[in-house]
A and B are shown apart, each in its own frame.
Chain A
Amino acid sequence: MRIAGTERGAPFTLFVDGEEMAAFAGETIATAMLADGRAAMRRDRSGAPRGLFCNMGTCSECLVTLRGDGGARRVRACLTPAAPGLRVETGPAA
């Protein structure tokens, strides 16, 4: 749900599983993904989708992989600011 009249920050693009996704300054990765209709942030052992539960860094259900030139790291989407050009992956951990 989005509260009517809320202004989003300056727009930019990042990538989720290789697809372009719009995000806005000041948002976390989790916020931007949810606003784009992407609730699945990782997979459990059986391959079933898991997503944001606590939205405050406690449950670790929203761990995503950030792919960078120096390798990959796992971050909590709810605590990590979205940034232009980020490459986010929701598949199995390395």
Chain B
Amino acid sequence: MLIVEAAHANAGASGQNAGSLHFQIERRFLEQGEAKAAEAAAITGLSRMAVDDWRGLEQALGADLHVHMHGGLMVAETADEVAMLERKAARERAAGLSAELVDGAELRRIAPYLSERVIAANHMADEGHADPRAVTPAFVAAARAAGAVLAERTRVTAIARRAGGFAVTLAGAGAGTVQADQLLIAAGVWSAGVGALANVHLPLFPVALQMNVTERVAPFLPHLIQHVGRRLSMKQAHAGNVLIGGGWPSRMAAGDGRFDLSRRPELLAPSLAGNLAVATAVLPHVGGLNLIRSWTGTTAITADQYPLVGAVPCAPGLFVAAGGSAFTLGPTFARLIAAQMAGGGAAAEAKAALAIAAPARFDHLNSFMGG
């Protein structure tokens, strides 16, 4: 197996995300009405697998990834938000994920650090966080140990479909042409561009976010904190820094009539202020800490917000794994897509597990692409 990386491993979203392990149904699926929320419950099947994958990942990769799974709280400040939590927890329980609504004295006991404004929360015991700076290098080391070759500073410049496979032209440090029976495009926000080289539409929309980190302080926050009604994701990293994000936008560069993914997105002051306002409203202690860094990163979403993971039907042998949630669900995507690509007995099961993310749902976009 050859892994082709345009920059260096972990340079993109894999290393820029803030490392949340979030298994509750995401807020972005809850803010679009009940029908979407009901439909999105299907993604809990992948979340359930991801819990087990993360529990075993340090052992599987033989590395310390600073995996902390001490529970997560999705908090509510208003009666309407509490009602959203109740409906969400019912859906999660029906799908086999154990989320419980906690309030009053029980909530204060679990999370004494929360502001009085927080009146209830959904608690999920398996949530937490891991260190993105450790996870990708550990995967790289494991892949190399298994015989894979990593070509860094190498770009794919052409993909020609051949009978039974592909001829892939590479430029940069690993320049040359390689033959491949199967191709997996897992290039994050750049995946659509790589897909274009194979003459397929991979309908991914780039989105730029920003994240923040405070100075290192003594441990006080064992949980992952999210908010059901406002954008917030917050946790204390292994080193003691508090990471604050939750989907606040930065601004992508643009030029030539399209977004320019080669330039780093620009930090937006209103996002910074808004994110920190939510953080301190929920967790007042954070207000006394120094912010030491804010940074931007780019991910991709699809039209229905579910990831894009699986076989591309119009191009036999071509697979994709992209479309967001890929830190939390990444190890699960990797395991399932590998099983699908390997074929054999486990392939059908893996394909079924990835059904909600299957590229087939967008294959109509490729009906005029001519092979």
- B60 touches A (CB below 8 Å): no
Chain A residue, CB-CB nearest to B291: A60
Interface of B is mostly: loop
Interface string of A69-93 (1 = CB under 8 A from B): 0000111100000000000000001
- B239 touches A (CB below 8 Å): yes
Beta-carbon contact of A76 and B290 below 8 Å = yes
A76 and B293 alpha carbons, distance in the complex (Å): 13
Chain B residue, CB-CB nearest to A44: B216
Beta-carbon contact of B215 and A93 below 8 Å = yes
- A63 touches B (CB below 8 Å): yes
Selected contact of A60 from candidates B215, B218, B288, CB within 8 Å: B215
A60 and B289 alpha carbons, distance in the complex (Å): 12
Q: Which of B203-223 contact A (CB under 8 A)?
A: 215-218
A75 and B240 alpha carbons, distance in the complex (Å): 17
- A8 touches B (CB below 8 Å): no
Closest-CB distance, B233 to chain A (whole angstroms):
22
Closest-CB distance, A64 to chain B (whole angstroms):
11
Chain B residue, CB-CB nearest to A61: B292
Residues of B within 8 Å of A76, CB to CB, are: 290
A63 and B214 alpha carbons, distance in the complex (Å): 12
Given contacts A45-B239, A73-B288, contact A60 B217 (CB under 8 A): no
Residues of B within 8 Å of A74, CB to CB, are: 215, 289-290
Interface string of B93-104 (1 = CB under 8 A from A): 000000000000
Residues of B within 8 Å of A1, CB to CB, are: none
Interface of A is mostly: strand
Number of A-B contacts (CB under 8 A): 23
Chain A residue, CB-CB nearest to B292: A60
Given contacts A73-B288, A76-B290, contact A63 B215 (CB under 8 A): yes
Interface residues on A, range: under 10
Chain B residue, CB-CB nearest to A73: B288
Residues of B within 8 Å of A73, CB to CB, are: 288
Beta-carbon contact of A93 and B293 below 8 Å = no
A76 and B291 alpha carbons, distance in the complex (Å): 11
Closest-CB distance, A60 to chain B (whole angstroms):
4
Residues of B within 8 Å of A93, CB to CB, are: 215-218, 240
- A94 touches B (CB below 8 Å): yes
Beta-carbon contact of A60 and B290 below 8 Å = yes
Interface string of B172-204 (1 = CB under 8 A from A): 000000000000000000000000000000000
Residues of B within 8 Å of A45, CB to CB, are: 216, 239-240
A63 and B241 alpha carbons, distance in the complex (Å): 13
Beta-carbon contact of B239 and A94 below 8 Å = no
Closest-CB distance, B211 to chain A (whole angstroms):
16
A74 and B214 alpha carbons, distance in the complex (Å): 11
Beta-carbon contact of B218 and A94 below 8 Å = yes
Beta-carbon contact of A94 and B217 below 8 Å = yes
Residues of B within 8 Å of A60, CB to CB, are: 215, 290, 292-293
Closest-CB distance, B221 to chain A (whole angstroms):
15
Residues of A within 8 Å of B240, CB to CB, are: 45, 93
Beta-carbon contact of A63 and B290 below 8 Å = yes
A79 and B225 alpha carbons, distance in the complex (Å): 32
A2 and B43 alpha carbons, distance in the complex (Å): 63
Interface string of A22-56 (1 = CB under 8 A from B): 00000000000000000000000100000000000
Other A-B pairs beyond A60-B290, A93-B240, 13, CB < 8 Å? A45-B216, A45-B239, A45-B240, A60-B293, A63-B292, A74-B289, A74-B290, A75-B290, A76-B290, A93-B216, A93-B217, A93-B218, A94-B218
B residues bordering A, Cβ < 8 Å? 215-218, 239-240, 288-290, 292-293
**What 5 A-B pairs are tightest by C-beta distance, nearest first?**
A60-B292, A74-B290, A93-B217, A63-B215, A74-B215
Of the A-B pairs whose beta carbons lie under 8 Å apart in the complex, a sample of 14, sorted by A's number, is A45-B216, A45-B240, A60-B215, A60-B290, A60-B292, A60-B293, A73-B288, A74-B215, A74-B289, A75-B290, A93-B215, A93-B218, A93-B240, A94-B217
